[in-house]
Amino acid sequence: MKREGEKIAMVTAYDYTTAYLVDQAGVPIILVGDSLGMVVLGYRSTIPVTMEDMIHHIKAVSRGSRGSLIVGDMPFMTYQIDESQALLNATRFLQEGGAHAVKLEGGEQVAETVRRIVATGIPVLGHIGLTPQSVNQFGGYRVRGNTKAEAAQLLRDAIALQEAGAFGIVLELVPSLLSKLITEKVTVPTIGIGSGPHCDGQVQVINDIMGLFTKFIPKHTKQYARLSDTILDALKSYMEEVRTGKFPTSKESFGGYEVTQTDTDH
């Protein structure tokens, strides 16, 4: 797709029903992101997400999707200790979860780990820029690459990931012009989130673009629907019809043998 100049759409999914709809829409890549910690499990960050959490949701997504490439986010401290740990956990994503590839955060510092995983036949998607698992180190969620030193490091990170065998690189909250430079310098696809229009593709959290999560709307997202309003209206209508006896009607009920008092006496 990069060679042919075709932009790549990627979106998150965390359950069977959503994955089925994303697959039916023809979205080529599904990310089962550790963002599920925040939008599904209610954590304040992605840090508490475990391997068991991820595998549980990857299984559901893999059952719902037939045509999309499924990428699983390796959670915090499941690939940083050593390469053997990383390889074992990446393998679990494919064998137990049904993922087709894994995603790791970091650049030069994880390049050798990426190389080892790829060498075993497991595709790896890189992730640089704002890496949410490092939010405590960064001191918050902010754009990365605004200084000359940071920009130079991100370019080195992208090249290191490509040389290690990553099939693509997510650029999160990277300035648009820097994303353009990185995209031009590497031959693998770049997938942006809050990194401008010059990346080879874009990834978004489905809860954001569908308007399901409205407490906070990131600057980098666009609401293509506002399902939270639709769901709230539907729930209020349901409660009112139950309260007033309008639901269920005979249409939503089942017929059968007409029971009489004599039948109950027996």
Nearest-10 crossing angle of helices 16-25, 51-64 = 50
Start-to-end CA span in the chain (Å): 72
The strand ranges marked E within 96-137 are 101-103, 124-129
DSSP secondary structure letter of residue 190: E
Q: Are 101 and 125 in contact (CB under 8 A)?
A: yes
Q: Which residues pair with 168 in a beta bridge?
A: 125
Helix, coil or strand: residue 228: helix
Q: Are 130 and 142 in contact (CB under 8 A)?
A: yes
> Could you list the active site residues?
172
* DSSP string for residues in 197-215: TTSSEEEE-HHHHTT---S
